[in-house]
Structure 1
Amino acid sequence: MTDLLCAALDAPGYAPLPSRARELLETLGAPPRLGAHLRVVHDVALSLTGWAAGRASFDAAAVLFGAATHDIGKVLHPAELSGPGSAHEPAGYALLVSHGIPEDLARFARTHGSWSAPDVTGEDLLVSLADKVWKAKRVPELEERVVSWLGGPAWETFMALDDELSRIASEADSRLAFQGSYPTDG
């Protein structure tokens, strides 16, 4: 593991990644920026799962692992750390499975970019949402899917979710600065 990856994974201010996710990043020699990105998305997912816990039934540990590994395929497609692309999604899924991660956890690498598919779960939606709102990106269609999944009076659920996402988005600049302070290579 490089010193910069270690710094990204250990820097104060964000929740530590699940140990298995961290071990994978270390074993794979992940770029420091990927480590930083996964830290901030995982931290946002931690906030979202805490907020949603009383509103719906879901596997919070799966969401947190998914957030911590959703972009792991960028180890194989490093150009997608600073540019567009989705080749990392199936590659990440295959990489996780090849390292013994069960399909129900590895799937987030594949599903985080396809939240509009008909078979996505609430857990998939939360990982996708965390991967958007960490940088203050709001996606109305995704948020509508989350509101529908959460249930309850739609308008009340929407307002509560909007308040939570606005709170999370208000801290995006510090997350962007943290991620941007790490290089996309070695």
Structure 2
Amino acid sequence: MSGTADPPLRPLPDRVARLLSELGCPPRLAAHLRAVHDVAHQLVDWLEQYCPTAAVDREAVLFGAATHDVGKTLHLGELSGPGSAHEEAGRALLLDHGISPALARFAATHATWADAPAGFDDLLVSLADKIWKNKRVTDLEDLVVARLAAASGRAPWEEFMALDEVLAGIGALADQRLTFQASFPVHG
């Protein structure tokens, strides 16, 4: 959850690290959450510089990225295989540990951004969960571009070009992040 990493990754927030330890979080899951949290940090840092008029709750996005898959502590099979049971389970788990509904929601919304109107913060957590491994999802990116254009007043194509550039830069280190995550055991 902290310590050196290649590529360098920010440690998880203390509050999240304590919660994950309390839950007996598997090492590989902690590594994944750390990688996604770091990417969310990069996205929010860029966004604050590039489009300061965009309404983003920095702390919520970073918390959401750091805990989005916490339900996998209950659904261990979803650490290495498909499944969505961890999403609602994660939201409920966070609520049971005193986390506010506004923050717990990311555990449930990180994979359902297309099913209902998602807030910009939810889209950013979902984007971080994709781009950490350089997975480009056009529909998700289009929603982010639309939010950027609405906040900035710039043309959508300009926002696409700027977002594409930052995502390409973040995605360039995906292999290193994947190697980092894979260096940790799935269990125990």
User: For residue 160 of structure 2, what is the amino acid of its counterpart?
Assistant: F
User: 1:17 Cα shift?
Assistant: 1.1
1:9/1:36 contact within 8 Å kept: no
Distance 1:181 1:85 in 2: 22
1:42 and 2:44 are equivalent in the alignment: no
User: 1:149 Cα shift?
Assistant: 1.0
SS in 2 for 1:91: helix
2:72/2:90 contact within 8 Å kept: yes
Match of 1:126 in 2: 124
Segments of 5+ residues of structure 2 without an aligned counterpart are none
User: 1:19 Cα shift?
Assistant: 1.4
1:90 and 2:69 are equivalent in the alignment: no
1:73/1:89 contact within 8 Å kept: yes
Segments of 5+ residues of structure 1 without an aligned counterpart are 1-7
1:90/1:110 contact within 8 Å kept: yes
Distance 2:64 2:116 in 1: 19
Q: Deviations over 1:73-132 (max 9, x none)?
A: 000001111111000000000000000000000000000001113321000000000000
User: 1:53 Cα shift?
Assistant: 1.3
Segment of structure 1 superposing worse, 169-178 or 14-23: 14-23
Q: Once superposed, which parts of structure 1, at least 4 consecutive aligned residues long, lie more than 4 Å away? A: none
Aligned residues: CA RMSD: 0.9
Percentage of identical aligned residues? 57
User: For residue 32 of structure 2, what is the amino acid of its counterpart?
Assistant: H
Match of 1:177 in 2: 179
Distance 2:67 2:130 in 1: 15
Distance 1:117 1:149 in 2: 17
Q: TM-score scaled by structure 1? A: 0.94
Q: TM-score scaled by structure 2? A: 0.93
Match of 1:11 in 2: 4
Distance 1:81 1:16 in 2: 21
1:9/1:35 contact within 8 Å kept: no
| Number of residues of Structure 1 aligned to a counterpart in Structure 2 | 179
User: 1:10 Cα shift?
Assistant: 2.7
Aligned mate of 1:147, from 132, 145, 148: 145
